[in-house]
Amino acid sequence: MPKRRYSLMLGCVMISSISLLAACGGSKPSEGEQKTTVIPQEPTEVYFLSTSTYWWDEATFMKEFGEPLQKKYPHIIPKTIKPTGMNTKVIEGYIAAKQPIDVILAANASYLLYLKPYEFSSDIEPFVKQYNMDLNRFAPEFIDMNRKLGEGKLIGLPLQDSPTQILYNKGIFDKFGVPYPPHDQWTWDEMFALASKVTRMDGGTQYYGVRMHSTFFRRNPFSLEYVDPKTSKAIFNNDMGKKVSEMYLRQYEKSDTAGLAPDGAKMFFEDRTLAMWMGLGASYNTPERYKGMEWDMAPIPVLPEKGRISVQPYPDYMYLSSTSNHKDLAVQAMEFFTSDSFQLERSKNAYTTPLKSNEIKAAFGQNADMFKGKNISAMSPVKYAPVTTYDQYTNQAAATILPKYVNEVRDGKTDINSALRQAEEEVNKYIEQNRK
């Protein structure tokens, strides 16, 4: 994605399997390096790598990141690494070639695939203490999730969150004389009730109420745990697992067979037969998709019984490379990219901030014409759901295995109880096959 002016996130990569590879290369940071208090002021190159196409375009990287960083810290010479593709062989090649890498940007699944097996990240807690960083500036769920990824250690700082809102087509609501979704908080029951009102046939065309991406399982509002970290056994074949799965299936109420197609984005943007789309991973870097559509945004529903929480976050984190020769400078860059001033400008350019600041949230999309007059308050929930364990096994369960079996319930091939039982069995089998 070379042009990212309107992007909110990296594309969510659904990983069907993650191979554990032998840790190799990369020297680990020494205690002496982490306790260094003098940051060199001579011009020094600092290298940035993204595990997705983000940052691969040098001109875009320099405009959005490099130039502001160098203006703040003239002694840092930012360099972006531009791979032609990303896979484990690319990472192994960088390690073998001793490619300088200082900061790595990765979403959770990419961290598990490209960083963790190679011990490519560093504990940044010593730097947080050394530079007196205020982690309370972030929504706490972002920090909690990273510590879960780091098995208790803080190994990254969040740059941005994934989209967390509902897009809706005003034309479909107008066609049926149905009120638009509310701009403030509403419940899941209210959303599905509204969806039912616009799921109908008109002029030979079937319209549908709501669709949500299967990323819902990974970001579910009930904070369902999939695998017990102590026993390494699946633990979602229970009432909570059933509740999450049944909530996901409610999007298909009143649907005909054609409406069971999983591509909600196509239904919303191309066919224009979908009233509400909860992509939980969509991006706004292609504004032409909205041409000719009257649209707006509504917040993700909340759970009143859980304190009116929304879904869990799914951020992109900046990691300090374990092979970095300039860790202090790398952390200095990471701290700048999470500063109020930098995040304010990113919010204006339509990126969702991980910070608590209401001022920064309110500035969302000010520099993007497509968001003028839109309900930008929907971009970030008032309160995220508590984050759950995130590792190779839970990722496989939530991103691939459980959605597969729940979709069989959708298609009438099995029942919910059988689906949960079969999904647990497959997750346990996966754990046995991939356990170290």
Give the tens place of pLDDT for each residue, 14-38: 333 333 233 333 333 333 333 444 5
The answer on pLDDT for 12 being more than 80 is no
- pLDDT of 5 above 70: no
User: Phi/psi of residue 336, each to 5°?
Assistant: -65, -40
Can you tell me the mean pLDDT for 226-239? 96
Q: Which pair of tokens denotes residue 190?
A: 């209210």
Note the pLDDT of residue 39.
61
Once rounded to an integer, what is the mean pLDDT over residues 245-249?
98
Domains in the chain, start-ordered, CATH in brackets? 31-161+316-371 (3.40.190.10), 165-311+391-434 (3.40.190.10)
* pLDDT given for residue 435 in this prediction: 86
Q: Would you say residue 4 has pLDDT above 50? A: no
Half-sphere exposure of 272 (CA within 13 A, CB side): 13
Which DSSP string do the residues of 113-168 spell out, in sequence order?
IIIGGGT-B---HHHHHHTT--GGGB-HHHHHHHHHHTTTS--EEEEE----EEEE
d(CA 17, CA 5): 32
Mean pLDDT over 366-389 rounds to 93
Nearest-5° Cα angle at 147, 7 to 129: 100
Among 1-5, 82-86, 290-294, which stretch is predicted with the lowest mean pLDDT? Answer: 1-5
Average pLDDT, the chain: 90
pLDDT at residue 251, as a whole number: 97
N residues, the chain: 436
Work out the average pLDDT over 359-383.
93
Mean pLDDT of the 260-266 span: 87
pLDDT of residue 21: 30
d(CA 274, CA 209): 6
pLDDT value at residue 345 = 97
Question: Rounded distance, CA 396 to CA 18, Å?
Answer: 8
Do 267 and 255 touch, CB atoms closer than 8 A?
A: no
Least confident of 13-22, 211-220, 367-376, 407-416: 13-22
| Whether residue 356 has pLDDT greater than 80 | yes
Least confident of 33-37, 269-273, 339-343, 427-431: 33-37
Rounded to whole angstroms, how far apart are CA atoms 391 and 311? 18
Whether the predicted pLDDT of 135 surpasses 70: yes
Rg (C-alpha) for the chain, rounded Å, is: 22
Q: Which pLDDT value is given to residue 129?
A: 95
Confidence band, pLDDT 50/70/90 cuts, at residue 40: low
pLDDT exceeds 80 at position 173: yes
Distance (Å, rounded) from C-alpha 252 to C-alpha 211? 8
